[in-house]
Amino acid sequence: MASPYERLSSGVDTDAESGRMRKDKSSPFRMVRTSPDAVATCTDASSVALAAIAYSLDGMTAPQLLPYALGHGMTFLLVGGTYLLGYALVGTASSFPPIYAGSVIYAAGYTALQILLALLVADATSLRYRGLSNALLAAPFLINVAASAQLLGWVLPDWRKGYAILAVLVPLSLLPVALVLKRNPTPSAREQREKKDMDWIGIFLGGIGLTLLLLTPFHFFGLVMCAIFVWHEVTAPNPLVPIALLKNPPVLAAALIGAVDFASFYLQFVYLYPFLLVVTDWSPRRATYALYTHAFAITVFGVLAGAVLHSTRRFKPTLLSGLIIRLLGVLMMFPAVRGPICAGILIAAQVLQGWGGGFASIASQVSAQASTTDVAGATAFVLLAAELGNCLGSAAATSVWNRRLPKALSEFVPGADMNRTLVEELFGSVSAILELDAADPVRQGAAEAYEAVMTRLLCYAALLAVIPPLLCIFMTRDVRLGDSVEGAEEGEEFRDEREQRERRFREEFRRREFRGVFDEVNERTPLVSPATSRPATRPASPS
């Protein structure tokens, strides 16, 4: 799970040697990500929140269905085009709207790529290997964790150069795969049928409705669009979300677990970076590495979870243990953010959350695919629910932050209750706080205000983190992960044991049936010995 702060920036440069931030007032680039620390100095907190929410809407559009509508090869080409267009818009932007547009276009391509890879893995692997395969796809992210902070100082002085490089490299890296998958240009009958049956109206209504619902100025219009979307889905012959998936408890449980887990995570994570900068004396680079601890842990433990699923052939113990560990990690954040920040406790909390998140994300996706033959629909539904949780968590965190932080600043900063201008300055720009000395009463009061609001966000996150383990216990059923692709798609419960029971039953049935027929023949035609004219001894029935 990636934070919106890993995707946003505000035109701030970082001294590669000292790690100190300095404003780049000449840069028009105000929002799209080049480094997490740049966001903390944005002068418009509401714009940061709006961009974060808009970016996290990347999973609520058509990408979930495009691979089976256009074909995998064509979808790869389309993804490469969206990456190119998104990066080009951001890299050439001289104002804020093109940056928004480029971020959303890039995000749609990013989500389409993740779903396409998940569907390719589902088509090519059995359930036993599927979790490990999905986890290995994310393993290269470990390179990002190690190299990103080092590359930051090289890219930031000329941030457009970074986007130009990405606009070239990403589409080129996707091109060979697209050409391999597009060797047969004629769509199959299934793809033609899927193209005709796609609910394009539902995609439009659902995407627009959810987008407007999560953007504060357009709540009413979002509610209206969502109501129209629900009415359309009830009456549509081919709804966007098949009713069969909603009636399937394990699939529904996997979707709910993903949505609630993501919402819980982003409630506490969205504003964790500026919180660390304000309440500690950490450099931006150190704070960045602290945040990347979670990403590193979730990647490593995701691979471990895939190996556990392969070894045990069971997903429910892994899923339940991961969700419980995630809950423990959230609870450990309370002592980590109260009082003087203890780096060890904070890192341990992030590792625990990454451990639990890695186990839960891999196991929940496999659990959904194991419970239905509609692997593509289940995969898209679970990923869509997770992105919805991302959006809701980010929106809720933004709402709490924007409402509570000004009040907390007025309460804890000396003289701020009578100085509205000071509150607005401290709230709108983290850099204004960071410019103050650590012993300054205003800086200390701002740190207390940040601590109070972060504690409230953690309370909400902890309450939500209790729900996924309960869903796992009561709504999921364990299955044995088979070795064949066909058996994996069926997702039958304890497949091998069932086949052994059926084999024993058939053998016993044939044995009893044969014994009964043999006895009946002997009773109707008794054998007589010609020498003694006495009935011969009946042969014993076969056992």
What is the DSSP track for 221-257?
HHHHHHHHHHHHHHH-SS-SS-HHHHT-HHHHHHHHH
Name beta bridge partners: 32: 8
Residues 6+ apart with CB under 8 A from 170: 80, 83, 84, 87
Instruction: Report d(CA 518, CA 15) in Å as an integer.
Output: 93
For residue 297, count other CB atoms closer than 10 A to its CB.
22
pLDDT number for residue 512:
63
Please report the pLDDT score of residue 90 as a whole number.
83
**Nearest in space to 260 (alpha carbons), one of 112, 114, 390:** 390
Q: According to the model, what pLDDT value does residue 372 have?
A: 81
φ, ψ for residue 435, nearest 5 deg: -70, -15
Please report, in tens digits, the pLDDT of each residue of the chain (543 residues total): 443 333 333 333 333 333 333 333 332 222 333 333 333 333 344 444 444 444 544 444 445 555 555 566 777 888 888 888 888 888 887 776 777 778 777 777 777 787 788 878 887 888 888 888 888 888 888 887 777 767 766 776 777 878 888 888 888 888 888 887 777 544 443 444 444 456 667 777 777 777 676 665 667 787 888 888 888 877 877 777 777 788 888 899 999 999 999 999 999 998 999 999 999 888 887 888 888 899 899 999 999 999 999 999 889 999 999 999 999 999 999 999 887 888 899 999 999 999 999 999 999 989 888 888 777 778 878 888 888 888 888 888 988 998 999 999 998 888 777 778 888 888 888 888 888 888 888 898 999 999 999 999 999 999 999 999 999 988 888 888 877 654 443 444 444 445 555 666 666 666 665 555 545 545 555 544 444 444 444 444 444
Q: Which domains can be identified in the chain, with CATH numbers?
A: 4-181+238-490 (1.20.1250.20)
Q: What is the pLDDT of residue 460?
A: 95
DSSP line for 449-471: HHHHHHHHHHHHHHHHHTHHHHH
**What pLDDT shows up at residue 192?**
45
**230-234 long-range Cβ contacts below 8 angstroms, 24+ apart:** 232/201, 232/202, 232/205, 233/199, 233/202
Distance CA 392, CA 270 (A): 12
Distance of alpha carbon 322 from alpha carbon 305, whole angstroms? 9
Please report, to the nearest 10 degrees, the dihedral formed by the alpha carbons of residues 177, 169, 68, 213 taken in order: 160
Of 147, 134, 135, nearest to 35 by C-alpha is: 147
Tokens of 435: 């410019």
Scan for tokens 């960045």, then name that residue: 288
pTM: 0.73
CA 358, 360, 363, 367 dihedral sign is negative
- 83: which residues sit within 8 A by CB, 6+ positions away? 106, 109, 110, 166, 167, 170, 171, 174
CB distance 466 to 327 below 8 Å:
yes
| CA angle (47, 6, 284) in 5-degree steps | 95
Using only C-alpha atoms, the chain has a radius of gyration, in whole angstroms, of: 29
39 contacts 47 by C-beta, under 8 angstroms: no
Structure confidence at residue 458 (pLDDT): 95
- Beta-ladder partners of 446: none
Q: Which residues, in sequence order, are bridge partners of residue 22?
A: 13
pLDDT for position 515: 58
Dihedral angle at the C-alpha atoms of 33, 34, 39, 44, nearest 10 degrees? -60
Residue with tokens 């969205």: 270
End-to-end CA gap in the chain: 62
- 275 CB contacts (<8 Å, ≥6 apart)? 337, 450, 451, 454
Helix (H) or strand (E) holding 328: helix 316-337
Tokens 């796609």 belong to which residue?
Answer: 198
CA dist 502 and 497 (Å) reads 9
- What pLDDT is recorded for position 149? 65
Q: What is the phi/psi pair of residue 524, to 5°?
A: -80, -30
Three-class secondary structure of residue 39 per DSSP: helix
Q: What is the pLDDT of residue 522?
A: 52
